Amino acid sequence: NADTALHRAKELGRNNYQFYSPDMNAKTMRQLGMEAELRKAIERNDLCLHYQPQFEIETGQVVGIEALVRWNHPERGMIPPEDFISLAEETGLIVSIGNWVLSRACAQNRALQDAGLSPLRMAVNLSPRQFNQRDLPEQVAKILRVTGLEPCWLELEITESIIMQDLETTIDQMVRLMELGVRISIDDFGTGYSSLSYLKRFPIQTLKIDRSFVRDIGSDSDDTAIVAAVIALAHNLKLEVVAEGVETQDQLNFLKSRGCDLAQGFLFSRPISAEALLELLLSQAAGPALKNRTRLAN
């Protein structure tokens, strides 16, 4: 009726007004300030990478690493990616940040091999904007050439949001990356809206189960069922499956019982510095992986 309509219009009006409120200006100003700071951070080399190991559940061996960016702010300390990646995405700064992350991660991985460790896969997160850069495959190829890392030791993580775009363009870009010999994985799987028929068409190798499902294994029967279903789905599609955010032994036991391939999470290790990663890998190499190491040296 008319009364409600008028009421709605007023509500809308109020909301519109709010859009231009001083609060909003303050927010815009803060964002502009942060954008300028982020630009400076890139120039001053204030970004850094932490590395989180990925373990093979069957053997307990580290087989992969995920590179995770941080902003080491001179006054505010370590800023997590959640606080600046979306701004970087909106402003386009993500392209230079992303290239820096790729170079750094590949160089680091190559350095680990040069130190005599068994080769590991390095996973790097790509944002949608970065994935959509037409020349991304050329950039990746160049970085692999410069760092001397073999393509098979690089895995690019993309999220389902990329899949919501034009399907043919997305597949074309994936194929161009695949032709370089790098691996592609779908990160945070289950949180987006990708259709299963898409999944079948993508040249991908890995599915990463989002940690929101892993968190509630055992306590929420729906989430437990989702995790079990994703593992089965991945294996039916001949994909490898990684569980993210594994924090407890119970979660690990469940994942193991369902044949999940890899696990990543605080139970094994938080994301750590390059130095701490090297230490962890060396202590593992002194154990069962020593054979590989001697083989490498010969």
Q: Contact positions toward Mg ion, by CB under 5 A? A: 125, 157, 187-188, 244
- For position 206 contacting ligand C2E by CB under 6 A, the verdict is no
Name the packing angle between helices 290-297 and 274-285 (round to 10°).
Answer: 100
User: Is 181 in contact with 153 (CB distance < 8 Å)?
Assistant: no
Of 16-24, 38-46, 75-83, 273-281, the window that binds ligand C2E (rule: CB under 6 A) is 75-83
Contact call for residues 183 and 158 (beta carbons, < 8 A): no
Minimum CB separation from Mg ion for residue 76, in Å? 22
Q: H helices within 187-273, ranges in order?
A: 196-201, 211-215, 221-236, 249-257
Judged by beta carbon distances under 5 to 8 A according to partner kind, the member of ligand C2E, Mg ion, none in contact with residue 40 is none
Which one of 17-25, 189-197, 222-230, 240-248 is the stretch in contact with ligand C2E (CB under 6 A)? Answer: 240-248
Q: Which is nearer to Mg ion, 204 or 285 (CB)?
A: 204
**173 contact, one of Mg ion, ligand C2E, none, CB 5-8 Å limit per kind:** none
Amino acid letter at 250? D
Measured CA to CA, the distance from residue 162 to residue 155 in angstroms comes to 16
Q: Of 23 and 56, which has the nearer Cβ to ligand C2E? A: 56
For residue 125, give the 3-state DSSP assignment.
strand
Based on CB atoms, which residue is closest to ligand C2E, 158 or 285?
158
**Is the torsion defined by CA of 263, 230, 184, 215 positive or negative?**
negative
Between CA 176 and CA 297 the distance in angstroms is: 34
Q: Does 69 bind ligand C2E (CB under 6 A)?
A: yes
Instruction: CB nearer to Mg ion: give 37 or 155.
Output: 155
- The rounded distance, in Å, linking the Cα atoms of 162 and 170 is 7
Q: What token pair was written down for 285?
A: 């190499």
82-101 binders of ligand C2E (CB under 6 A): 82, 85, 98, 101
Residue with Cβ nearer ligand C2E (37 or 155): 155
In the bound state with ligand C2E, the residue whose beta carbon lies nearer, of 41 and 69, is: 69
Contacts of 278 (CB under 8 A, 6+ apart): 112, 115
Q: 127 contacts which partner out of Mg ion, ligand C2E, none, CB within 5 to 8 A by kind?
A: ligand C2E
Residues that bind ligand C2E (CB under 6 A): 52, 68-69, 80-82, 85, 98, 101, 125-127, 157, 187-188, 211, 244-247, 264-266, 271
